[in-house]
Amino acid sequence: MAQFEDFDDQEVYNKSQLLALTDATRNFVIEFGKEEAHIAFNLDDGDVKALLEKVPEVEKPVRWINVWSPNKQTKLVDALAERYKFSPRLLAVIKTAPPPPKQHNDDNHTGHHRPGTAQKDDVEANSSLRSSQLSSSSYAAMSTGHYDIAKLMINYHSVDIGTRFLCIGANWMHELSPSTLDDSIIEEGKQQPLWSWLILCDDNTVISLHEDPGVLMDPLHLRSIRNNTFSVMSQLSNHGHFTADPISIQSVRQAVDSNTLPGLPGVERASNLFYYLFDDWRAVFFTMSAFRKRLEALQTEILDDMTRRSYKAPNISIIPRLHILGRRVRQMQHLFEGYKNLTLRILESSSSTVRGGSNLTTGLSTSSRNVILAQSASTRFERLGDRLTLLILSETEEFLAEKDALINTASFSTFYFNINAQKDSEATARLTRSATLLAKLSVLFLPVSLMTAYFSVQIPELNNYTSRDYWYTFAVIISLSILALFFFSRLLMYITETLDSGVKSTGKYLSGALSHVKRKTAKKIGKEQ
């Protein structure tokens, strides 16, 4: 049997915080009430079976069972399923192993554009490469496993109601540490979705199961993934609750007992625990804040480009960055709409709960009347739904509107939707420079060729030149050619432009004079007639 320890003990609390952020930790169980809390880590299936058969103590009526990587602890999951009558489908899905992470080759990474780097490869070759990669990735995405669907449709979620449980499942987004990302634009602001199940049972037990994230190279990534679980766990101890930031306080163990549920100790705390595990507000706040910062940075770059010097090339990396940002915002918008739907489903399930003390049934379904969601938790879910609608979803709409406004700016339309024309003009300019260089080389060596021909003439009077005379003459002529080429070329350009403008002015003058003569002639003819 697993050894439970007093969670209010300072030493146990410190050790528990370290274990919760250790990759080797598989699970933990906390039994708590208003006055006491005990915790145990790394229970096996035998420990869990013995624990479930034991009647909870009056002082500790609430039990929280947290499991990381349930696909690696199938016997433990079987014990939970047998106790709370999980459906065969739900049990099979929970025990499913997630697919291994895809390995990307940086050299052939689709959409791997680095800021400020010109794309010098052939366009048709790149198009063929991308098409082949997209075809292979589309074929790989045809799998219909649970995790494949969850990764493909970020807002995918599930609600399962049984005789002894209410289970919700959804993706939760986790911020990736910078060290795990490369500097490609497609990775900018990327987050990792991981699936979690939250289960509220009829005996004041709350079960949380979290998808296996795979091998993590950065400890900060593990902290990001377990951040909300770590926060809720810490505040179940008096040491964590009373030292928490005021805005982060989660009243689970310290919840006031409801007078509307007499004879059912622990319902209030189990319901609030279920809510706080669902409401990961920190991740939402950091996500929206990151969107705002990236949008403001792109706005500054686009507006600054309106005053860009003509000799500076436009920053074409803004196009994929703005596209990726819009895609991320739309994904999160769909995810938050899924959360909104989950809150509605939970509230609908508990809407027929009789609040009075004479009847303690809930409206989860006619066959699940033992699963009770306290009124305080229902109120919190209602407020969460309002926040999702009024704050989060409205903010994502504003982000998308600002993104569209940036696309419609004159500078963006002028410089960023004519990239193909710009590339064509750049290619033409390169060809022009090459032709100009060849012409200059021809002009440079033409006098030398004439001089060499002069020294090669077979005339008796011209046969007395020595090699020194030839090389001296060569040096003088090549020097004069270089001076004429690089110093008089600008003068010739100026003379050419002056003559061109003079010709245009003369043409305009002659055209005006001719039209004036025509008008006078027409008037004279009119008078004569």
Mean pLDDT within 254-272? 71
Distance separating alpha carbons of residues 179 and 163, to the nearest angstrom: 46
Q: Which of 100, 377, 77, 46 is nearest to 210 (CA)?
A: 77
**290 phi, psi to nearest 5 deg:** -65, -40
Four-CA torsion 407, 412, 413, 417, nearest 10 degrees? -90
Q: Which residues contact 514 (CB under 8 A, 6 or more apart)?
A: none
Q: Which two tokens stand for residue 194?
A: 């991981």
pTM of the predicted protein model: 0.70
DSSP state of 305: G
**161 phi, psi to nearest 5 deg:** -120, 125
* 163 or 442, which is more confident: 163
Per mean pLDDT, which range of 7-21, 384-398, 475-489 is the poorest? 475-489
Q: Which of 188, 195, 197, 127 is nearest to 160 (CA)?
A: 197
pLDDT at 462: 66
Q: Which amino acid is at 141?
A: A
Provide the pLDDT confidence category of residue 277 given band limits of 50, 70 and 90.
Answer: very high
pLDDT tens track for 278-303: 998 888 888 888 888 888 888 887 77
pLDDT tens track for 102-144: 654 444 443 444 444 434 334 333 444 444 444 444 444 456 7
Helix (H, G, I), strand (E, B) or coil at 205: strand
Say if residue 445 is exposed, middle or buried (CB neighbours under 10 Å; 0-12, 13-18, 19+). middle
pLDDT at 130: 46
pLDDT tens track for 400-429: 888 888 777 655 555 555 655 666 677 787
What H or E segment, with its residue span, contains residue 159?
strand 157-161
**170 phi, psi to nearest 5 deg:** -165, 170
User: Facing residues of 17 across strands?
Assistant: none
Angle ∠(189,195,197) on CA atoms, nearest 5: 145
Mean pLDDT within 453-480? 80
